[in-house]
Structures are given as C-alpha cells and as structure tokens.
Structure 1
Amino acid sequence: MRGKLVGLAVFLWVLLSSLSLEAIADDALNAKTKANYVFNFTKFVEWPALMNDTLHVCIVGAEPIVNLLSDLASRDTKGHLLQIWSGIDDPQVCQILYIDKDAPELQALTRQVRGNQILTVSDADGFAGKGGCIGFYAENGQIKLEINPDAVRNAQLKINALLMEIARIVR
C-alpha cells in the first residue's frame, strides 16, 4: 500500500511540475508576442507631434516585456530611436504606454493620459472597450488585438489600415 502511495505522489508531482513548466513557457511566449506587437506598433502608428527622433515606450508592471523590448531597441523604427522605460514618473513623455493588467495604477494612468498623443496598450480584460487604444486578449491559445478607434482618434493618432485589419474593433 505504501509503495502505491509513493508512486501516486511521484506521479502527481511530475504532473504538477509539467503543468507549471507549461504555464511558464506559455507566459514567456505571451510576453514575447506582446513585446513584438508593441515594437510593431511603432511602425503602424503615426504621432503627429513627435518632436524629436526618439520614440519613448513606457512599460508599467511587465518586466519580461521590458527585457524583450530592450533587446529590440537598437532596431530602426521608421527613422526613430526607440527608448524603453520600465515604470514612469511622468506618463506625458511616452508615445506608447503599456500597462500590465495587474498594475495597481492601470486605471489612474489611463485616465491621466486620455486625450494626449499617447497610444495606451494593456492586457487587462476589455481594456480597449473601456477607453484604451489597444487591448490584448487571448483566443484559442493566441494573443490577439482589439482596437478602439474612438480612443485612437481622441489621442490624435493614426493607425495604419493593415493593423486595423488584423484587430477586432471595439467601441
């Protein structure tokens, strides 16, 4: 009897360990997908009043995305230098503001920058439907986009039609 219990315990441990590793792998893949999307937003969004050659991407509460974007920062993005900031003191300096769904300042930051030329992005449930510019959502194991064209227009930004085509439009 004791041998069966030990065998069952080992089986359960292996099963739970593999589920944990799978969840970690999924989280890493999701972070990579989101980082790639954010980087590509720099190519498919126009900021009319971009005063200098630097495009500031501010990330709040998502260190894996910060790390991945930092690796991409040396790439050219429509002639702009990309500067990645982890956390922010003044969100008004950002052109893209990504706020993680678990960041306590999500709602306050979103309200604070509304109407400014800042592309707000989050993986919070229903973010775009609640007034953010671009939201990430999961569907069939994939990260997808939803875009709120009214929020984008209020931010005085223009999104390329190719990006609009791959997104779900919400209002």
Structure 2
Amino acid sequence: MAGRLAGLGLCLWVLLSGLGPAVAADDVLNAKTKANYLFNFTKFVEWPALMNDTLHVCIVGAEPIVNVLSDLASRDTKGHLLQIWSGIDDPQVCQILYIDHEAPELHALTQQVRGNQILTVSDAEGFAGRGGCIGFYSENGQIKLEINPDAVRRAQLKVNALLMEIARIVR
C-alpha cells in the first residue's frame, strides 16, 4: 500500500509540474509551471459550497500566468468551467486567488478573504507560513509547493491527500 501511494504521489507530482524538465529560473517557464499548478489545483481541491459549474481563478499581478491559464481553460477540470480573471474588484467571487509577490495588495487581499472559501496562492516568500493556503517556492531551480493545512481548514476547503503528500507542510 505504501509503495502504491508513493507511486501515485510521484505521478501526481509529474502531472502538477507540467510534465516538463526541471524548471530553470526563466520567467516564462516559471509562469507556465505556476499556471499548470493553478489549473491542477481545480482537480485536487474541493469547494463544498460551489454555487455553479464555474470556477473563478483570479490572478493579481502576473499577466504571463493569465495568458497561460487562458490557454488551459478549455481543458477538463472535473466538470467545471474555468473563468480566468486578471485583477479583481471583488475577491469574494474567486475560488482560487493567486497574488504575485510584487503585487502591492498582497497583504490586504489575503486578509480580506481570510476564512472565505477561497484558495489563496502566492509566490511571496513564506506566504503559506503567514496564513496563505498554498505558497510557491523555488528549490534547486524547481517550483515547489508549501501548504498550510490550518489556512485550508479556515477556508473550509478540502485538499486531496496526494497533493498534500508532494508539498511541504507549514503552520
């Protein structure tokens, strides 16, 4: 059983990492990797009170990620339609809210949606450790994940165990 779970975890990691080689520090590759992760979060996170078949993915401060996600939006996401928004007036409409580390509204948006059914994601250093749901970090030229299960619980979301397995857990 443990070997099977490890194999599934490896398969999940390959799927989430975009099926590509180790990611270099290149901005285009980073944007593609982050967009692939965001897209795949729609398959590995459950929103219990999703009102319709549309998942709203809101991106603040990262136009290259918006461009890649727009290309992915037509793919299957467990029966949900994806709507990709660049910037937002009301973050309460988002199911996934990605905030770039350079976005001046990072802290304010994170506080504004805290406790709502919104998966907050950022590449800001230590984001998950400071109360965000999922943070991206770089290690050996690869984009990796850290997940704060307490923040996910506060957001009333459920993260698939396979996703938890490939991430670094922070509190």
Structure 1 position 76, deviation (Å): 1.4
RMSD, aligned α-carbons: 1.0
Which structure has more RCO (C-alpha within 8 Å, separation ≥ 6)? 2
Q: 2: distance between equivalents of 1:152 and 1:25? A: 28
Task: Report what 2:48 is aligned to.
Answer: 48
Q: 2: distance between equivalents of 1:53 and 1:158? A: 17
Over 3 Å counting, the alpha-carbon distance change for 1:92 and 1:139 in structure 2 is same
Q: 2: distance between equivalents of 1:78 and 1:101? A: 29
Deviates most, 71-80 or 125-134:
71-80
Task: Report what 1:12 is aligned to.
Answer: none
CA deviation profile, 1:96-152 (whole Å, cap 9, x unmatched): 000000000000000000000000000000000000000000000000000000000
Number of aligned pairs?
A: 148
Q: 2: distance between equivalents of 1:29 and 1:139? A: 15
Task: Report what 1:110 is aligned to.
Answer: 110
Task: Report what 1:162 is aligned to.
Answer: 162
SS in 2 for 1:129: helix
Task: Report what 1:35 is aligned to.
Answer: 35
Task: Report what 1:119 is aligned to.
Answer: 119
Structure 1 residue runs without a partner (length 5+): 1-23
Q: 1: distance between equivalents of 2:125 and 2:115? A: 21
Q: 2: distance between equivalents of 1:55 and 1:38? A: 12
TM-score under structure 1 normalisation?
0.85
CA deviation profile, 1:25-80 (whole Å, cap 9, x unmatched): 71111110000000000000000000101000000000000000000111110100
Task: Report what 1:15 is aligned to.
Answer: none
Q: 2: distance between equivalents of 1:25 and 1:66? A: 19
SS in 2 for 1:146: strand
Task: Report what 2:9 is aligned to.
Answer: none
TM-score under structure 2 normalisation?
0.85
Q: 2: distance between equivalents of 1:98 and 1:158? A: 18
In terms of fraction of residues, the more helix-rich structure is 1
1:1-171 matched pairs, under 5 angstroms: 26-171=26-171
Q: After the TM superposition, which parts of structure 1 deviate over 3 Å for at least 4 consecutive aligned residues?
A: none
